[in-house]
Amino acid sequence: MTSLATAPASDNSTAKATSPAASSTTQSAGGNATAADTSAVSSTAGTTVSKLATSQSASDAVASVSSSSSTSKVASSSSTDKVASSSATSAVSASKSSGLSGMTGFAKAANTTGGAGGKVVTVSTVEELQKSLEGDEPTTIKLSKDLSSANKVVLKFGANKTLEGTSEGTGLHNIYLASDKTAGNDVFQNLNFTHDDRYRANGDIPLFISNGSGYWIDHNTFSGTKDKDATGEDKLLYVGGKADNVTLSNSVFKDNEYGVILGQPDDSASAKQTYGGYPRMTIANNVFDNLDVRAPGLMRQGQFDVYNNTINNFHLGYSIASNATVLSQSNYFHGGYDVNHKSSNAGVLDDKGDAAGFKDIGSNVSFKQKSATTNWVPTEYSRTVKTPEAANAYNLANAGAGKGGFAS
């Protein structure tokens, strides 16, 4: 592994189901989550290394997906952070961002602004990117072209950054991003995350966020390597520790055994006490395609507002555990194992009964849960919820890198 910085760790699980259509409504609701797997996140310093170690169990089911749209507003709080990275040069212009557009959910509620109002930097090398991510000065970082590293590198990012690709989407190959100690108030848009199939270990996670408040992850594509290697413990995204006020929107996660791990991956009583309530996260209008497990995610500790997503071609969808509170609404499941047996719970929900609460409203499949039914509804923001079918159609047309505008 090469290093401008070194890497974080991950988690396991996949599933999917099919969905019906309806007209859009504005509402929110909450539900109790149950237990899924156990994992541990640890952070070690090598030339700035983040590592997540996790272990967990999940059920199976396979599916294929399409999805429609929904909009949401969010309230969230921000924080600052620093990034460790090697030096390089970058072209800086002293222009200001025009402000954010299209932001929803908890990130919006926290007034997440990223690099808005700060300097604008255009980068064309990995070294320039690393340098521009350092520190907490508000900075909008524009990638002028695809960037690739021969070996895996992990770049730490600080606070108040907007990192955006071109309007067509810009690739980061073998380039992993991880939050530094003071990270927060950061925006990631129009990025294509890819990696070699040799990076399939538990800690191989392209975007790793473990602290800070106010993150918007929007119109990105996270691609795995299941076509080259069917098994692996790598994940595509981690949001845990005490990270908070996060919105994941209009993004695509595809072609991997494991998808997304959310919340501190530790089921112990002490972890529940320390990390309970983190993160508060909005997950809306995303496509999870050809993931075996963790789609839309393994969820622990925090509060998760999950609506209008497409989950396609999966073995296992939700995994809920350790105090998680999950409100699932108008999500479109397709192509999951045994998905037509709606009362069987096969492939749609892995609930071991220790989540704080789970509730589904209007998705195109039914859920058989063991955890309590939650009455939680996010009050920090409002959102417009479409029918599963409408959301699916919207998601297939609009989710992913290169399919959206810019925050700056």
Query: Is residue 405 included in any domain, yes or no?
Result: no
pLDDT tens-digit profile of 59-112? 333 233 333 333 333 333 333 333 333 333 333 333 333 348 899 999 999 999
Query: Is residue 7 included in any domain, yes or no?
Result: no
Helix, strand, coil fractions of the chain, as percent rounded to 5: 10, 35, 55
Q: Give the pLDDT of residue 27.
A: 33
Which CATH number belongs to the domain containing residue 208 in this structure?
2.160.20.10
Q: How far apart are the C-alpha atoms of 10 and 2, rounded to whole Å?
A: 19
pLDDT tens-digit profile of 104-135? 999 999 999 999 999 999 999 999 999 999 99
Query: Is residue 169 included in any domain, yes or no?
Result: yes
CA 69 to each of CA 166, 287, 387: distance values in angstroms, whole numbers, following the listed order: 23, 11, 8
pLDDT tens-digit profile of 173-186? 999 999 999 999 99
CA 153 to each of CA 42, 146, 172, 178, 193: distance values in angstroms, whole numbers, following the listed order: 18, 15, 11, 10, 13
3-state secondary structure of 162: strand
Query: Is residue 14 included in any domain, yes or no?
Result: no
Query: Is residue 403 included in any domain, yes or no?
Result: no
CA 342 to each of CA 31, 266, 362: distance values in angstroms, whole numbers, following the listed order: 18, 30, 13
Q: Give the pLDDT of residue 201.
A: 84
Catalytic residues, by residue number, are 294
* Assigned token pair, 195: 């990696």
Query: Is residue 122 included in any domain, yes or no?
Result: yes
pLDDT band at 408 (very low <50, low <70, confident <90, very high): low
pLDDT band at 346 (very low <50, low <70, confident <90, very high): low
- The three-point CA angle 35-76-248 to 5° equals 55
Query: Is residue 255 included in any domain, yes or no?
Result: yes
First to last CA, the chain: 33
pLDDT band at 276 (very low <50, low <70, confident <90, very high): very high
β-strands 91-93, 119-123 pairing: antiparallel
* % of the chain surpassing 70 pLDDT: 72
Q: Count structural domains, the chain.
A: 1
Query: Which structural domain, as residue segments, surrounds residue 53?
Result: 25-287+297-398
What count of residues does the chain have? 408
pLDDT band at 338 (very low <50, low <70, confident <90, very high): low
Query: Is residue 53 included in any domain, yes or no?
Result: yes
